[in-house]
């Protein structure tokens, strides 16, 4: 059995006084304090970060972390664009499956607000196909092509997308660690300026700083000793072509479907049993595609369903989605996101989610996407009985 | 800047697409661009399915904006693609034009 036994996240947002490693240090030290573990008890670290190499000429973070924590254990830096965090969780899970009685840290961190939006756009575009970059297609532009295709095919308009952001901002208002804590209405989204038609500023996740850390273990003694824990039933990863032009269907993310199918099979549960989920809403359209590709909603139905807020705290019932505020309101420090998603589900399963706690939760799911669907990671967690 | 060797390698691919016709599968208008494309913004990007079913992405140029729609026929043309510094090599690439019959 593999369990998540601790989670800590820094505040997400514009943290100008903190460096990448200041944030990493806070996340690691606080999660160790919370689990009453010493760094000496950690057997390996999986560190998720995308942009430090491109933006601040900062690589070989394994050795830098070894120096900060005065350790000599294996430390792996993991990069898969916006799915870096999810991939780090995936690798940690594989490490624990291959080794007995081990305890590992998964840490995700990103420092983005030291740079201009053009620099960050350039850095993020390192993860796009070179042919698409040459055409002047940006990262929001990729999702805009999918959004426009979806709206056209299923006869929706921009308003259908706006409901995703309204819900996630409401959830963000309940999360003290979220980048944005302001509630918004549909008109705010529709009146915000375009980034790439049909997507606007309020359809898009922000540029944030932040770090998040998890402790995962398969050490029975430690699992027994630590009070707050959740079981990691499965964590699966799938990849797909980087270019949107090479994808068969524009209204789905195939990597999500493959990873989800494997994750549900391994966890031996059905989508209908999931009560809380953190899905990858880098843009409003991404949450709608995710809900359909994960098997929660029928293909093409999402645009209509979302307008009734069935996945919002206080309004929904069966499945509540992105209680953290999602990438949209909680913030999107790229490397930290996939780690935070698992952390949020851990909080829900251990009744520590405060104002945004969903009642009687047994199963939760996380869904993390890299680029416009080149990598997808789906994890399923259960309450510890 | 694109290095001469990259431009040389890329030209072989450009040649394969030039002059071909296809239809618009999806489109977007980019408002926030990277530095290299900032001067052109806002500009239109289309996802095209060529006659041989191969899909490519490029800018749509020289057209009446009222006319833009899904399913319209386009043709691949050669155009200068982005801003350069004074002494850089001018990079050319594929952009798309609506064909007259639309």
The answer regarding whether domain A128-206+232-383 maps to CATH 3.40.47.10 reads yes
Cβ–Cβ gap A196/B59 under 8 Å: no
Q: Which residues of B touch A127 (CB under 8 A)?
A: none
CA torsion sign, B11 to B13 to B15 to B17?
negative
Domains of chain A by residue range? 3-115+208-225, 128-206+232-383
Q: List, for residues A170-209, the tens digit of each pLDDT value.
A: 999 999 999 999 999 999 999 999 999 999 999 999 999 9
Comparing A3-115+208-225 with A128-206+232-383, is the CATH topology the same? yes
Tokens 């160790």 sit at which residue?
Answer: A32
**Mean pLDDT of the A5-32 span:** 98
Query: Given A135, A144, A197, which is nearest B58 (Cβ)?
Result: A135
Active-site choice (A171, A179, A280, A332) = A332
**A194 contacts chain B (CB < 8 A):** yes
- Identify the band that residue A333 occupies on the pLDDT scale cut at 50, 70 and 90: very high
Q: Which CATH class is domain B4-98?
A: mainly beta
pLDDT-derived band at A122, boundaries 50, 70, 90? confident
A234-277 tens-digit pLDDT: 999 999 999 999 999 999 999 999 999 999 999 999 999 999 99
Residues in chain B with CB shorter than 8 Å from the CB of A148 are: 26-28
Q: What's the pLDDT at A309?
A: 98
Does the annotation count A332 as an active-site position? yes
Q: How many CA atoms lie within 13 A of B25 on its CB side?
A: 23
The residue among B36 and A275 whose pLDDT is bigger is A275
Check residue B95 and give left, alpha or beta (phi > 0: left; psi -120 to 50: alpha).
beta
Residue B85 — very low, low, confident or very high, per pLDDT cuts 50/70/90?
Answer: confident
pLDDT band at residue B101 using 50, 70 and 90 as cut-offs: low
The H or E element containing residue B59 is strand B55-60
Q: Which of A131, A135, A146 sits opposite B45 (nearest CB)?
A: A135
Q: Tell me what percent of the residues of chain A surpass a pLDDT of 70.
A: 100
pLDDT digits (tens, 9 = 90+) for B65-78: 888 999 999 999 99
Which chain B residues touch A196 with a CB distance below 8 Å? 28-32
Q: Does B102 touch chain A (CB under 8 A)?
A: no
B69 touches chain A (CB under 8 A): no
Please report the pLDDT score of residue A86 as a whole number.
98
Q: In whole angstroms, give the CA distance from residue A213 to residue A215.
A: 7
Cβ–Cβ gap B45/A193 under 8 Å: no
A80-114 pLDDT, tens per residue?
999 999 999 999 999 999 999 999 999 999 999 99
Q: Are A23 and A10 in contact (CB under 8 A)?
A: yes
List the domain boundaries for chain B: 4-98
**Residue A282 among the catalytic residues:** no
Question: How is residue A356 annotated by DSSP?
Answer: G
* Tokens (6 digits) for A103: 């305890």
Distance (Å, rounded) from C-alpha A248 to C-alpha A228?
43
- Quick one: pLDDT at residue B1? 58
Across the range A10-14, mean pLDDT stands at: 98
Q: Angle CA(B56)–CA(B59)–CA(B62) in degrees, nearest 5?
A: 130
Phi-psi region of A354 (alpha: psi -120 to 50; beta: other; left: phi over 0): left
ipTM confidence? 0.95
How many beta carbons lie within 10 A of that of residue A359, not counting itself?
A: 8
What does the pLDDT read at residue A285? 98
Q: Which chain A positions have a beta carbon within 8 Å of B43's beta carbon?
A: 136
The structural architecture, per CATH, of the domain A3-115+208-225 is 3-Layer(aba) Sandwich (3.40)
Identify the band that residue A35 occupies on the pLDDT scale cut at 50, 70 and 90.
very high
Provide long-range contacts, Cβ within 8 A and 24+ apart, for A68-74.
A68/A21, A68/A24, A68/A25, A69/A28, A69/A39, A70/A39, A71/A39, A71/A40, A71/A42, A73/A42, A73/A43, A73/A44, A73/A45, A74/A43, A74/A44, A74/A45
Give SS3 for A142. helix
Interface test with B, best of A126, A136, A140, A243 (most B CBs within 10 A): A136
Residue A92 confidence (pLDDT): 98
């Amino acid at each position: 059995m593999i369990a998540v036994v601790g989670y800590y996240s820094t505040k997400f947002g514009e943290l100008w006084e903190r460096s990448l490693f200041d944030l990493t240090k806070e996340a690691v030290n606080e999660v160790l304090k919370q689990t009453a573990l010493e760094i000496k008890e950690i057997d390996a670290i999986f560190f998720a970060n995308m942009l430090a190499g491109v933006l601040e000429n900062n690589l070989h973070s394994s050795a830098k972390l070894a120096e900060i924590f005065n350790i000599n254990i294996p430390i792996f830096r993991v990069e898969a664009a916006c799915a870096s965090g999810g991939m780090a969780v995936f690798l940690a899970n594989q490490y624990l499956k291959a080794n007995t009685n081990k305890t590992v840290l998964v840490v995700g961190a990103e420092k983005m607000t030291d740079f201009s939006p053009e620099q960050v756009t350039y850095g993020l575009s390192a993860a796009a196909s070179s042919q698409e970059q040459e055409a002047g297609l940006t990262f929001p532009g990729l999702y805009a092509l999918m959004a426009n295709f979806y709206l056209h095919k299923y006869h929706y308009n921009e308003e259908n997308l706006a409901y995703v952001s309204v819900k996630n901002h409401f959830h963000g208002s309940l999360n003290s660690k979220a980048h944005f804590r302001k509630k918004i209405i549909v008109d705010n989204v529709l009146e915000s300026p375009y980034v790439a038609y049909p997507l606007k500023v309020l359809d898009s996740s922000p540029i944030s700083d932040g770090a998040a850390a998890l402790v995962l273990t398969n050490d029975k003694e430690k699992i027994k000793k630590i009070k707050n824990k959740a079981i990691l039933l499965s964590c699966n990863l799938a990849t797909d072509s980087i270019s949107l032009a090479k994808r068969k269907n524009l209204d789905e993310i195939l990597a999500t479907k493959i990873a989800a199918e494997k994750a549900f099979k391994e966890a031996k549960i059905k989508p209908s049993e999931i009560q809380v989920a953190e899905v990858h809403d880098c843009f409003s359209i991404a949450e709608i595609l995710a809900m359909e590709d994960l098997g929660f909603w029928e293909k093409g139905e999402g645009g209509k369903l979302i307008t009734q807020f069935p996945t919002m705290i206080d309004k929904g019932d069966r499945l509540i989605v992105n209680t953290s505020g999602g990438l949209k309101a909680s913030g999107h420090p790229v490397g930290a996101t996939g780690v935070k998603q698992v952390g949020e589900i851990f909080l829900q399963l251990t009744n520590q989610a405060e104002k945004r706690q969903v009642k009687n939760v047994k199963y939760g799911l996380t869904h993390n996407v890299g680029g416009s669907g080149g990598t997808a990671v789906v994890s399923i967690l259960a309450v510890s009985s | 800047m694109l290095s001469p060797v990259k431009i040389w390698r890329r030209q072989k691919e450009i040649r394969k697409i030039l002059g071909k016709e296809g239809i618009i599968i999806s489109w977007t208008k980019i408002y926030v661009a990277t530095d290299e494309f900032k001067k052109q913004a806002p500009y239109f990007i289309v996802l095209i399915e060529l006659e041989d079913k191969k899909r490519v992405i490029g800018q749509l140029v020289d057209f009446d904006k009222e006319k833009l729609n899904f399913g319209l026929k386009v043709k691949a043309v050669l155009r200068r693609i982005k801003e350069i510094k004074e002494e850089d090599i001018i990079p050319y690439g594929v952009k798309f034009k609506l064909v007259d019959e639309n």
